[in-house]
């Protein structure tokens, strides 16, 4: 439970998958330490399961209702409070298949939840669907991120990467890997953008061929707000997919699709569905009507086909499966998510998420995994050209200069425009799949048409909003970061983009509000910006990227994965517009593969470095805001402990039997306690930590052995989306010695 306005409080989120498991081990340590300094750490459960339960509280028993608090609403309120101090771990942004899996699991645990209705016709089904829609996709981050984004690799983390570099795949000049994107008919080519000179209620309207007007949405826009509209042609998209498939077949290059169906929860599943229909064209041509009857939805991937045909007689199922296999004969090889289990790139829309998948491919010599489990050159298909081009730039760069060298390369931190649901990531309620030909237009309340597009049946039309205070704050944050780190900053704004032209005017205006004397600030198109950043980077030089929301997301995985091997090691801060702070842990996700490893062999390779960094800043901010010297000291000690942990290479290993997440938490606790025991700023606190430091130091070997002994056999978590917390506790805290020592503090 969270109660706004209490000042000496940190709210720590409980989420899903690997970060949730890691919390099971780390949080008890954190709480023991902070309690000694009078700082409370409360938890707030924002897991997908918890959000589902909150949406259906009315159907639960009194006991089950205890779990069904709408924590997201509470946290949303908290973000507006200047004292907000929130630690946000990555959570699942569920695709429909994930949502269904979570519902099935909860039902099996005795929660009376309705099935997810694929098609909602009755009022009841519509109500159910709209409740589930609130849980779908990236539903947490847009609510909590009430500020812009500041993500960087702290110096200690860069030093660690230089000392213990991760592996980097070699690049060959002969590599056939590349990024491919639409040259026409995509959002980029149709984008229009305006800035509102006065507040107004605008209407998004569809006008059919007979002139009938349908108001799709009315929305209030503020003065100074940037409003964009654009569409992707369904025909052009299908032609594009077909071309990429033909080319791959001819050139013997593997085909892969990279979208962000989780964050772009309305438009990208549709794009994904087009890819499925084109790749398996013969199957959909032949069985389209049957699939329709069965309720197959290609937007949910081939998993939907396999799932729905289960109700058919065996012989018919086999016939369809054969038809699917026949497609593989004449189509190019497709990249696999799991070659052992036969899971392809088109199985589920949330398996391949572009921000993490493209850097992983580039780090891996531009290759992905094929059906035979071997890595191969790949055409990375990303329909929307707006941002896809940056990946081609990086691929070209690696082909020319070879792979990046983590021991010498500089860093590219990011200042991202994110506040107030800026740009594409706030467009879901303004995205429409056309059901007939006509005109989409944006109209002022007085009837003036601001923008319009001729669209066809199946096209995806969308609008994006960017609010003026968000832009103003973003410019300020960029200037502050550039000054504080004495690093050049580049605003990535493309003159060819209608939206960026509007933004550029604002950037040029708001830069004048600041003292920029001596700063190296520039504005460049994306291709030039990434090229210059990479050229500087291989010379060991740092360059801040100041970008919009999508590039923020892409670049904060792309550069960290090259520099640090993972974006989990990033410090990720959201200074809230209202004065509070959210400290996100790392920049990556919830690492589903890591959970599988725990279930199979009880080894958690999740690195909680992001949590350590976030907590230190959270404590430091608390110290500064409340003039709390103990909090500042705790932060300083935690930073020192994190530095020592990195120096001594006590991060988790990937292999069973070696130090894992739990072991690294032990070392953090030991170093943290040692620092607090030895410091002389606060004698009382030192006295409290002396016995703890002593006990941890003396029992190091015993604790590490107890932690190691727990590994090597399957672990029962009692659930995936909604695990049994008592079981998680026992799996994540297997050292009695460590638990007893912590309890004695």
171 assigned to a ligand binding site: no
Pair type for strands 9-14 and 85-88 = parallel
- Find the binding residues for ligand NDP in span 74-103 (CB under 6 A): 90-93
Among 590, 664, 711, 735, binds ligand NDP (CB under 6 A): 590
Pair type for strands 149-152 and 200-208 = unpaired
Among 355, 563, 611, 630, binds ligand AKG (CB under 6 A): 355
| Residue owning tokens 């994306």 | 526
Cβ closer to ligand NDP: 411 or 590?
590
In whole angstroms, give the CA distance from residue 355 to residue 549: 12
User: Which residues, including other chains, have CB under 8 Å from residue 254's CB and lie 6 or more apart?
Assistant: 248, 332, 333, 334, 335, 368, 370, 376, 377, 378, 379
Burial of residue 201 (CB within 10 Å: 0-12, 13-18, 19+) is exposed
Among 193, 350, 556, 737, binds ligand AKG (CB under 6 A): 556
| Least distance (Å) between residue 355 CB and ligand AKG | 5
| Least distance (Å) between residue 164 CB and ligand NDP | 14
345 makes contact with ligand NDP (CB under 6 A): no
In whole angstroms, give the CA distance from residue 698 to residue 488: 47
Among 355, 393, 424, 706, binds Mg ion (CB under 5 A): 355
Residue 607 binds which of ligand AKG, ligand NDP, Mg ion, none (CB < 5-8 A, kind-dependent):
ligand NDP
552 assigned to a ligand binding site: yes
Among 33, 391, 474, 606, binds ligand NDP (CB under 6 A): 606
Pair type for strands 460-466 and 431-433 = antiparallel
66 CB neighbour count, 10 Å cutoff: 10
In whole angstroms, give the CA distance from residue 601 to residue 158: 31
In whole angstroms, give the CA distance from residue 609 to residue 585: 8
461 assigned to a ligand binding site: no
| Least distance (Å) between residue 101 CB and ligand AKG | 17
158 makes contact with ligand NDP (CB under 6 A): no
Task: Say how many CA atoms lie within 13 Å of 31 toward its Cβ.
Answer: 14
141 assigned to a ligand binding site: yes
145 assigned to a ligand binding site: yes
162 assigned to a ligand binding site: no
Going by C-alpha positions, the residue among 28, 15, 6 that lies closest to residue 735 is 28
Largest CA distance in the chain: 83
| Residue owning tokens 């696999």 | 336
In whole angstroms, give the CA distance from residue 575 to residue 235: 42
CB contact burial 680-713 (16+ within 10 A = b; e otherwise): eebeebbebbeebbebbeebeeebbebbbebbee
560 makes contact with ligand NDP (CB under 6 A): no
In whole angstroms, give the CA distance from residue 152 to residue 477: 13
| Residue owning tokens 């990033």 | 570
405 assigned to a ligand binding site: no
543 CB neighbour count, 10 Å cutoff: 24
In whole angstroms, give the CA distance from residue 662 to residue 731: 10
585 makes contact with ligand AKG (CB under 6 A): no
# binding residues, ligand NDP (CB under 6 A) = 21
267 assigned to a ligand binding site: no
Among 228, 424, 563, 607, binds ligand NDP (CB under 6 A): 607
Q: Shortest Cβ contact with Mg ion: which residue?
A: 355
User: Which residues, including other chains, have CB under 8 Å from residue 734's CB and lie 6 or more apart?
Assistant: 662, 706, 707, 709, 710
- Find the binding residues for ligand AKG in span 171-210 (CB under 6 A): none
566 makes contact with ligand NDP (CB under 6 A): yes
| Least distance (Å) between residue 81 CB and ligand AKG | 22
Segment interacting with Mg ion (CB under 5 A) among 104-112, 250-258, 351-359, 468-476:
351-359
434 CB neighbour count, 10 Å cutoff: 18
Going by C-alpha positions, the residue among 627, 558, 99, 74 that lies closest to residue 354 is 558
Task: Say how many CA atoms lie within 13 Å of 695 toward its Cβ.
Answer: 15
Residue 568 binds which of Mg ion, ligand AKG, ligand NDP, none (CB < 5-8 A, kind-dependent):
ligand NDP
553 makes contact with ligand AKG (CB under 6 A): yes
- Find the binding residues for ligand AKG in span 283-312 (CB under 6 A): none
| Least distance (Å) between residue 86 CB and ligand NDP | 13
Cβ closer to ligand NDP: 134 or 399?
134
| Least distance (Å) between residue 555 CB and ligand AKG | 10
144 assigned to a ligand binding site: yes
Q: Is 127 left (phi over 0), alpha (psi -120 to 50) or beta?
A: alpha
In whole angstroms, give the CA distance from residue 745 to residue 741: 7
Cβ closer to Mg ion: 500 or 553?
553
Among 50, 79, 85, 93, binds ligand AKG (CB under 6 A): 93
CA dist list (Å): 689 to 9, 107, 589: 21, 46, 34
114 assigned to a ligand binding site: no
557 assigned to a ligand binding site: yes
3 state SS of 736: helix
Among 356, 604, 670, 695, binds ligand NDP (CB under 6 A): 356
Going by C-alpha positions, the residue among 107, 6, 13, 1 that lies closest to residue 611 is 13
Tokens for 627?
A: 């003039």
47 makes contact with ligand AKG (CB under 6 A): no
Among 568, 622, 668, 707, binds ligand NDP (CB under 6 A): 568
363 assigned to a ligand binding site: no
Q: Shortest Cβ contact with ligand NDP: which residue?
A: 589
Cβ closer to ligand NDP: 31 or 265?
265
Among 11, 14, 263, 368, binds ligand AKG (CB under 6 A): 263
Pair type for strands 375-381 and 254-257 = parallel
Among 96, 283, 489, 587, binds ligand AKG (CB under 6 A): 587
Cβ closer to ligand NDP: 22 or 443?
22
Cβ closer to Mg ion: 351 or 355?
355
Burial of residue 16 (CB within 10 Å: 0-12, 13-18, 19+) is buried
| φ/ψ (deg, to 5) at 547 | -135, 170
# binding residues, Mg ion (CB under 5 A) = 2
Residue 706 binds which of ligand NDP, ligand AKG, Mg ion, none (CB < 5-8 A, kind-dependent):
none
530 makes contact with ligand AKG (CB under 6 A): no
Tokens for 12?
A: 């720590």
| Least distance (Å) between residue 685 CB and ligand NDP | 30
- Find the binding residues for ligand NDP in span 128-157 (CB under 6 A): 141
475 makes contact with ligand AKG (CB under 6 A): no
Annotated binding site for substrate: 138-145
Contact positions toward ligand NDP, by CB under 6 A? Answer: 90-93, 141, 262, 350, 353, 356, 566, 568, 586, 588-593, 605-607
Annotated binding site: 88-93, 138-145, 151, 355, 552-553, 557, 589-590, 594, 605-607, 654
Contact positions toward ligand AKG, by CB under 6 A? Answer: 93, 138, 141, 262-263, 355, 553, 556, 587
Contact positions toward Mg ion, by CB under 5 A? Answer: 355, 553
Annotated binding site for Mg(2+): 355, 553, 557
């Amino acid at each position: 439970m969270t109660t706004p306005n209490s000042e000496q409080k940190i709210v720590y989120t409980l989420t899903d998958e690997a970060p949730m498991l890691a919390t099971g081990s780390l949080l008890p340590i954190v709480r023991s330490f902070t309690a000694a300094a009078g700082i409370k750490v409360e938890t707030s459960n924002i897991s997908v399961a918890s959000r589902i339960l909150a949406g259906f509280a009315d159907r639960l028993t009194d006991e089950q209702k205890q779990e069904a608090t709408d924590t997201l609403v509470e946290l949303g309120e908290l973000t507006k409070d200047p004292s907000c101090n929130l630690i946000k771990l990555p959570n699942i942004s569920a695709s429909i298949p994930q949502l269904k899996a979570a519902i099935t699991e909860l039902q099996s645990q005795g929660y009376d939840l309705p099935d997810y209705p694929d098609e909602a016709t009755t009022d009841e089904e519509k109500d159910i669907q709209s409740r589930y829609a609130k849980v779908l996709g990236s539903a947490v981050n847009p609510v909590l991120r009430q500020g812009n984004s500041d993500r960087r690799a702290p110096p200690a983390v860069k030093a660690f990467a230089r000392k213990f570099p991760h592996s980097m795949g070699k690049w060959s000049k002969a590599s056939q890997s590349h990024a491919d994107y639409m040259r026409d008919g995509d959002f980029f080519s149709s984008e229009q953008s305006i800035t509102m000179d006065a507040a107004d209620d605008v209407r998004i309207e569809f006008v059919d061929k007979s002139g009938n007007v349908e108001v799709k949405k009315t929305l209030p826009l503020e003065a100074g707000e940037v409003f964009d509209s654009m569409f992707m042609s369904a025909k052009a998209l299908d032609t594009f997919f077909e071309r990429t498939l033909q080319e791959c077949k001819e050139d013997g290059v593997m085909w892969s699709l990279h979208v962000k169906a989780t964050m772009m929860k309305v438009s990208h599943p549709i794009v994904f569905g087009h890819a499925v229909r084109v790749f398996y064209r013969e199957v959909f041509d032949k069985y389209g009507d049957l699939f329709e009857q069965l309720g197959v939805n290609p937007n949910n991937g081939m998993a939907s086909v396999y799932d729905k045909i289960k109700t058919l007689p065996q012989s018919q199922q086999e016939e369809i499966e054969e038809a699917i296999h026949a497609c593989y004969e004449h189509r190019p090889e497709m990249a696999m998510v799991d070659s052992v289990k036969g899971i392809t790139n088109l199985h589920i829309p949330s398996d391949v998420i572009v921000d993490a998948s493209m850097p992983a491919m580039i780090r891996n010599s531009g290759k992905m995994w094929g059906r035979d489990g071997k890595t191969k050159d790949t055409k990375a298909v990303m329909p929307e050209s707006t941002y896809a081009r940056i990946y081609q730039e990086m691929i070209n760069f690696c082909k020319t200069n070879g792979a990046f060298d983590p021991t010498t390369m500089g860093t590219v931190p990011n200042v991202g425009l994110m506040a107030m649901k800026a740009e594409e990531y706030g467009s879901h309620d303004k995205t429409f799949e056309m059901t007939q030909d006509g005109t989409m237009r944006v109209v002022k309340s007085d009837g003036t048409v601001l923008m319009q597009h001729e669209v066809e049946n199946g096209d995806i039309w969308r609008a994006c909003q960017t609010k003026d205070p968000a832009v103003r704050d973003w410019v300020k944050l960029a200037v502050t970061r550039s000054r504080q780190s004495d690093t050049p900053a580049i605003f990535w704004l493309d003159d060819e983009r209608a939206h960026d032209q509007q933004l550029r005017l604002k950037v040029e205006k708001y830069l004048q509000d600041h003292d920029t004397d001596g700063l190296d600030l520039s504005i460049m198109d994306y291709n030039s910006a990434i090229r210059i950043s990479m050229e500087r980077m291989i010379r060991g030089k740092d360059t801040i990227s100041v970008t919009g929301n999508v590039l923020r997301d892409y670049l904060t995985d792309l550069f960290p994965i090259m520099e640090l091997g993972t974006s989990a090691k990033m410090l990720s801060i959201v200074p809230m517009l209202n004065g509070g702070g959210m400290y996100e842990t790392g920049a990556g996700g919830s690492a589903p593969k890591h959970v599988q490893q725990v279930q199979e062999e009880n080894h958690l390779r999740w690195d909680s470095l992001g949590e350590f960094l976030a907590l230190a800043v959270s404590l430091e901010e608390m110290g500064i805001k409340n003039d709390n010297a103990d909090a500042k000291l705790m932060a300083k000690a935690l930073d020192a402990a994190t530095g020592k942990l990195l120096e001594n290479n006590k991060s988790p290993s990937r292999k069973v039997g070696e130090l894992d997440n739990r072991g690294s938490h032990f070392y953090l606790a030991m170093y943290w306690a040692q620092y607090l025991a030895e410091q002389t700023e606060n004698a009382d606190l030192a006295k409290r930590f002396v016995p703890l430091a002593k006990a941890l130091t003396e029992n190091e070997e015993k604790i590490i052995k107890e932690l190691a002994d727990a590994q090597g056999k399957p672990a029962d978590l009692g659930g995936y989306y909604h695990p049994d917390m008592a079981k998680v506790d026992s799996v994540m805290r297997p050292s009695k010695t460590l638990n007893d020592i912590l309890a004695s503090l």
